[in-house]
Amino acid sequence: MVGGTTWPGEETVAESRVRLGRVDRLSVEVVYRPGTTLVSLLVDALGGRPQGVLPHVRRTIRAGLPRDVARLLPPLFVPGVSPIPDWLSTDAAGSDQEIHEALERMRDLSADTVLEGIDFTFGGRVPGRWEPALRDPRRYAVAFADALDALRTTCAPVLRRTRALYEREAERVGIASVTGHIGVVLSQLNALWRLDGDDLVYSGGRIGDHALGDRRFLLVPILSGSNASIFSLDTRDCVSIGYPARGLALAWHGQKPAAESRDALGHVAGQVRAKILRYLAHRPTVGETAAHLNCAPATVTYHCRQLEDAGLLARERRGQSVRMSLTPRGQALVDLLA
């Protein structure tokens, strides 16, 4: 949803761009917003766009919802279409107390504020499934607050465990940012975003083109599921993009993530991409790289495409084969972090 927090829409051929300016000079902040994770979990549980939440987690969340909430809210959501009003966002909340206060404010919203948010979300063309909320707006605002409150209680232990994942992400993004290689991070947010030069391109539905300008650029690690993608593109002071943090499956299974490798290049780019970057000194083909890494060629092709989009890999046809090599930016990254 343009103008508020958004979940990926239905697949379409349309693409939208966020123009970032010079990516190698981009200033990025990583922010911890557990409230965003709670909303992502709720949308998944209510039947909106799947966020990649593990099945046993989804069952636990649904079982923990109040009965009236479990009946009232699911009809508002259908797979592939999950925009929500701004008043449901808890983005500014970082601590448990701040989330509690945000939910209390949600319960106290006036009917007019709730209606204005719904109308703005859908550009004045409110879908039929949301019409019951128009007839009793405050009831729905309270129901959403109650649902998130229940989630906050259900997920509290896991959110405490996943705080370590956030700290790792903050370190990873920080290294990439200060070394001028934030493009490596942006090229692997999730399957719906790709980096094209100095633009982030979204392929999950038409959301309009936007420019960062002089606004802050925030990355929000989401601790819900592997397909999580939440973003806000046209607020006055910032652009924020949420994406799944690494190691989620381990955290939700109650396991501690493995100790982080001291390989700085692998920490920033990921282990597979780090191996590819190092092997590019041999000017290999995709097939040769796949054999060297003992990976499927399709896997190597995917990672190489992302590295190329990030400006780290170049391709050159030589006869019947296509050889790959490091770009100057890629060589600088390897030299700096290897």
Q: What is the pLDDT of residues 24-60, one digit of tens each?
A: 888 898 888 888 889 899 989 998 878 888 898 899 9
For residue 269, pLDDT over 90 is answered with no
Local confidence band at 256 (pLDDT 50, 70, 90 cut-offs):
low
The whole-angstrom separation of Cα 118 and Cα 86 is 8
For residue 6, pLDDT over 70 is answered with no
Residue 255: the pLDDT is 59
Residue 325: the pLDDT is 95
Count of alpha carbons within 13 angstroms of residue 94, beta-carbon side: 6
Tell me the per-residue pLDDT of 200-246, one tens digit each, with 9 for 90 and over.
Answer: 998 877 778 899 999 999 999 988 888 888 888 878 899 999 898 87
Among the listed residues 189, 171, 181, the one whose alpha carbon sits nearest the alpha carbon of residue 333: 181
Residue 59: the pLDDT is 92
Residue 338: the pLDDT is 67
Average pLDDT estimate for 63-92: 83
**Mean pLDDT across the chain, nearest whole number?**
85
CATH assignment of 264-337, among 1.10.287.40, 3.40.50.1220, 3.40.50.2300, 1.10.10.10: 1.10.10.10
* Global pTM value: 0.77
Q: Give the SS3 label for residue 168.
A: helix
Among the listed residues 228, 204, 193, the one whose alpha carbon sits nearest the alpha carbon of residue 41: 228
Average pLDDT estimate for 99-128: 92
Average pLDDT estimate for 179-201: 86
The whole-angstrom separation of Cα 277 and Cα 43 is 37
For residue 81, pLDDT over 70 is answered with no
User: What are the domain boundaries of the chain?
Assistant: 16-252, 264-337
For residue 5, pLDDT over 60 is answered with no
Residue 250: the pLDDT is 63
Q: Are 44 and 225 in contact (CB under 8 A)?
A: yes
